Homo-oligomer: A and B are copies of this chain.
Amino acid sequence: MKCSRTEHICSFIVMDVLEKAQELEKRGCDIIHLEIGEPDFDTPLPIKQAGIRALEAGETHYTHSLGIQELREAICRNYEAEYGIYGLDPDQVVITSGTSPAFLVALGAVLEPGDELIITNPCYPCYPNFARFLGIIPKFVKVYEEEGFQYRIEDVKNAIGPRTKGILINSPANPTGHLLDADRLKGLAGLGLWIFSDEIYHGLVYDGERAHSILEFTDKCFVFNGFSKKYAMTGWRLGYVIIPKPFKRTVQCMVQNFFISANAASQRAALVALTDDRVVTETKKMVDEYDRRRKFMISRLKEIGFGIDHEPKGAFYVFANAKSFGSDSYRLAFELLEQAHVGVAPGIDFGTNGEGYLRFSYANSIEKIDEALNRIAQYLEQRKK
User: Chain B residues near A135 (CB, 8 Å)?
Assistant: 113, 135
Number of interface residues of A (CB under 8 A): 68
Q: Does A261 contact B (CB under 8 A)?
A: yes
Complex Cα spacing A130 to B108, Å: 12
Task: Identify the stretch in A57-65, A303-311, A312-320, A345-353 within 8 Å (CB) of chain B at 4 or more residues.
Answer: A57-65
User: A58's contact among B42, B247, B253, by CB below 8 Å, is which?
Assistant: B42
Residues of B within 8 A of A4 (CB): 112-113
Asked if B5 and A97 sit within 8 Å, CB to CB, the answer is no
Chain B CB within 8 A of A193 CB: no
* A191 contacts the other chain (CB 8 A): no
Chain B residues positioned under 8 Å from A10 (CB to CB)? 253
Q: Is A98 an interface residue (CB 8 A)?
A: yes
Whole-angstrom distance between the Cβ of A83 and the nearest chain B Cβ: 24
A286 at the interface (CB under 8 A from B): no
Q: Does A365 contact B (CB under 8 A)?
A: no
Chain B proximity mask over A213-251: 1 for CB below 8 Å, otherwise 0: 000000000000000000011111100000000110110
Whether, in the assembled complex, A110 has its beta carbon less than 8 Å from a beta carbon of chain B, the answer is yes
> A109 to B3, Cβ gap below 8 A?
yes
Oligomer copy total: 2
Residue contact A6 to B254, C-beta cutoff 8 Å: yes
A324 at interface by CB-CB < 8 Å: no
Closest chain B residue to A133, Cβ basis: B108
The 5 closest A-B pairs by CB, nearest first: A235-B264, A97-B97, A43-B60, A1-B246, A129-B257
10 new A-B contacts, CB < 8 A, other than A62-B234, A237-B262, are A1-B246, A6-B253, A12-B256, A52-B55, A55-B55, A130-B257, A133-B258, A234-B260, A237-B263, A263-B263
23 contacts between A and B (CB under 8 A): A3-B110, A4-B112, A6-B250, A6-B253, A11-B249, A11-B253, A43-B58, A48-B55, A60-B232, A60-B236, A97-B262, A98-B260, A100-B259, A101-B258, A103-B258, A113-B135, A126-B257, A133-B254, A133-B258, A135-B135, A235-B263, A235-B265, A263-B266
